[in-house]
Each structure stands twice: as C-alpha cells, then as structure tokens.
A and B are shown apart, each in its own frame.
Chain A
C-alpha cells in the first residue's frame, strides 16, 4: 500500500560545545534540558533517554508512574542518534513498530561548534489503521482510492 508522506519536522541549532558533549547532553542529560511535553496525568518528574540501542525513552511523573514514548534505534556517539516516537494521535503509546515515527538527530562538529540537525519523520505512521488509509488516498482524489483500499481490507 502506498502511503502519503507528511513533511518531516526539521530543526537545527548550533551550540558552542564539542559533538561528544552535545551528544551526551542530548541523551544522558536529556532531563536537564527537556521542557514541556509529558503525557502522564501527573506533573513531569523526569524525562529519560537510556543511552544504548534498544534503550527506553520515557517520562516519570511525580507520582512515580512511567509512560513510554519510544525506544533507541541507533546510538552512535558522537554523530548520530535515532529514536522512535510511538505516541499516536490520542497520545497513547503504541508498541507496534510499524506505527512508529522516528526522530533522527545528527551532530556535526566544525571549528569547536556543533550543529545539531533534528528530523522527526514518518509522522504519517502515527495515524494507525483508518487514519493511514485516509491520508494515503487524500492526495489522489480521495474516495476512489479509499474505496479500493477499503474493499481490499474488507475482503482480506
């Protein structure tokens, strides 16, 4: 099934530290700079990226409950980090990796400065099932495409 893609979210910042320190700050120091986002009912106590492949990426609320956001796919210091972001459109964790979006962070050092390029991609995968169906056909006229896919899904 062809899937309509959504433009990735991209941001870059340049920071006055080495790529090694920038990478460590981003991962092990995640909680020291992360602001805002949390999905649990309780206030955010800590946000964690476990510094290894297959590590968890999660939040812990002040009441002790933990909510997963995704996992570490690539942990390649000091150059590259790839995480999955598995919170769907209802902000629930979806363990199905085929529904996971990805966050890639590249660290490029030059003259003592490090450029950090962040790309959050495959956002369309977060709309599992029906949503995926709808977006995949929205580009070519809508209903004819959705009917075809729906018929295939219904017949399966």
Chain B
C-alpha cells in the first residue's frame, strides 16, 4: 500500500504515517519499494522470525553444553559444579 492510501484511511496526517512506517521499516517489519514517485509498503514477517531463528540456534547449542556438563558431573560426582559456582561475590 502507498502512504497516500494509508493516510486516507487513518485519522492522522500523511507525514505522521510516513514517520510510523519508517519506524516499522527500521524494525524490519515492513519493507518498501519505489513505484514511480510513490513508495509501496508491505508487511515483512521476518523481524520476529529472525529472533525466533536466533533463539532456536542459541538453545540448541546451550542445551548441548548442558548435556555435556551433566555427563561430566555424573562421572566426577559433583566437585566440578561446586568449584565453578562459587565465583559470585
């Protein structure tokens, strides 16, 4: 949709709509494309999807680390955990 179309349907000014769209674009939520003198905006679902992807990778690695630490703990009987968790001051 173009800025003109959007502002026609909203109780705010056209510059205000442009300003909001800039914020949404910066956050990766909408993308825009030039069409002659107009800019056409569309919703971009990738912003939150990118966070999802990051967290998925993060937990996959983190839980692998947890599993490894737990296996070591099973072998050493707990001294390792104790010595490493006493660093808080």
Contact = CB atoms under 8 A, between A and B. Distances in A.
Interface string A7-39: 101010101110001101110111111111100
A15 B69 CA distance: 9
Given A89-B27, A142-B43, A154-B10, A9 B81 contact: no
Contacts of A48: 88
Contacts, number: 139
B39 interface: no
A89 B62 CA distance: 20
A124 to B, nearest CB: 6
Interface in A81-133: 85, 89, 116, 118, 120, 123-124, 126-127, 130-131
B24 interface: yes
Interface string B37-79: 0000011110111111001101111111111111101100010
Contacts of B71: 15-16
Contacts of A118: 59, 63
B-side binding surface: helix, strand, loop or mixed?
Answer: helix
Contact of B67 (A7, A13, A34): A13
Interface residues of B, number: 49
A36 to B, nearest CB: 5
A62 interface: no
B27 A130 contact: yes
Contacts of A135: 29, 45, 47-48
B60 A11 contact: yes
Given A22-B70, A31-B87, A37-B58, A150 B10 contact: yes
B78 A21 contact: yes
A9 to B, nearest CB: 5
A124 B45 CA distance: 11
Nearest to B44: A134
Interface of A: 6-7, 9, 11, 13, 15-17, 21-22, 24-26, 28-37, 46, 48, 85, 89, 116, 118, 120, 123-124, 126-127, 130-131, 134-135, 137-138, 142-143, 146-147, 150-151, 154-155
- Shortest beta-carbon contacts, A-B, top 9: A15-B70, A33-B69, A32-B84, A134-B29, A35-B65, A16-B74, A29-B81, A33-B65, A13-B67
